[in-house]
Amino acid sequence: MTLINDRWLRRLSQSPKARLRMFCLPYAGSGTAQYRPWARLLPPDIELYAVCLPGREERINDRPGEHLEPLAVSLAQALQPLLDRPFVLYGHSLGGLLGFELAHTLRRTVGVEPARLIVSGRGSPERQSAPAIGHLPDDQFVAALTQRYGGIPQAVLNEPELMALFLPVLRADFRMLETYKYPERDPLSCPITAVGGTQDSMVPPEAIHGWRAHTTGEMGAHFVDGAHFFIQTHQARFIELLSAELRRTPKSAGL
């Protein structure tokens, strides 16, 4: 029986004969909840996991990470018991960047790559797309987030107690983005799928196509209607595209 590190991982679907395991990484300020509906929407031969980072949900008392590389190292250790089966890494925005670093960390420490890396709402890693807003006072920080991303639920904005819980994680996540420095390395060998929003002003098409330089394998660029959070506003189309990419992912790791 495979042991799951339940501090880091939530298993959202289980299949003893799953063809692939898929690990979903959160975008800034988010947790595992947005991936729970995907368990009934993705192909049944995909065993779905959501990653729970420090500082959110059941780990709300853990200090959030402020630097991406050590977080990738810790996460790689947590995933190791589940790497006995081909796997896919997926992340949106910050999650896409974390997935990229995690893929490199797994190659370096375990000698294995994902069967596919899938990123959405994030340009290639050498592009710095995060504004320096983590230092702003609360009201200016929230205003900048709302104007640029529009991703904070109104229910949270209207509740000071919820915002008090939400803001430290958001600030830490943006510090992670703002302090990230792309370390030049040999490209991955696994296929990369990059998905952008047609109205996402923060991630232009050339930034999505920029992922081509980061793999010696296949790279596919796709675009879905919508702004930065097209995975929510146009979920049906995105899940259709994601399912197609998973179906054509080979049952083999990148190394």
Which residues are tagged catalytic?
93
Burial of 76 (0-12, 13-18, 19+ CB in 10 A): buried
Output the six-digit token pair for 11. 């298993």
CA angle 80, 32, 110 (to 5 degrees): 15
Report d(CA 48, CA 155) in Å as an integer.
28
DSSP one-letter string for 51-71: E--TTSGGGTTSPPP--HHHH
Report d(CA 188, CA 213) in Å as an integer.
9
**For 230, how many CA atoms within 13 A lie in the half-sphere containing its CB?**
27
Torsion of CA 137, 138, 144, 149, to 10 degrees: 150
Output the six-digit token pair for 45. 């031969």
Composition of the chain by helix, strand, coil, percent to 5: 40, 15, 45
